[in-house]
Amino acid sequence: MPQLFPMNWMLISMMILIIMIFIMINIYFLSNKMFFFKKNKNIMFKYWMFKW
């Protein structure tokens, strides 16, 4: 049991770390996308109009 506990703690900490990194990356990409669309809304709209 004492040998198993550190392994479990390592796994739990790794999982928490991975989840936190994943959330951070998601927030970062979402904010970048929102900023991009806010900034270039007219350009994107014109581009789609030209495409059609």
Spatial neighbors of 17 by CB under 8 A, at least 6 apart, are none
Exposure string for 28-49, b = 16+ CB within 10 A, e = fewer: eeeeeeeeeeeeeeeeeeeeee
Radius of gyration of the chain (CA): 21
pLDDT digits (tens, 9 = 90+) for 14-34: 999 999 999 998 888 877 776
Higher-confidence residue: 8 or 5?
8
Helix and strand tally (H, E) in the chain? 2, 0
Q: Is the pTM of this model over 0.95?
A: no
- Whole-number average pLDDT of the chain: 75
pLDDT at 48: 65
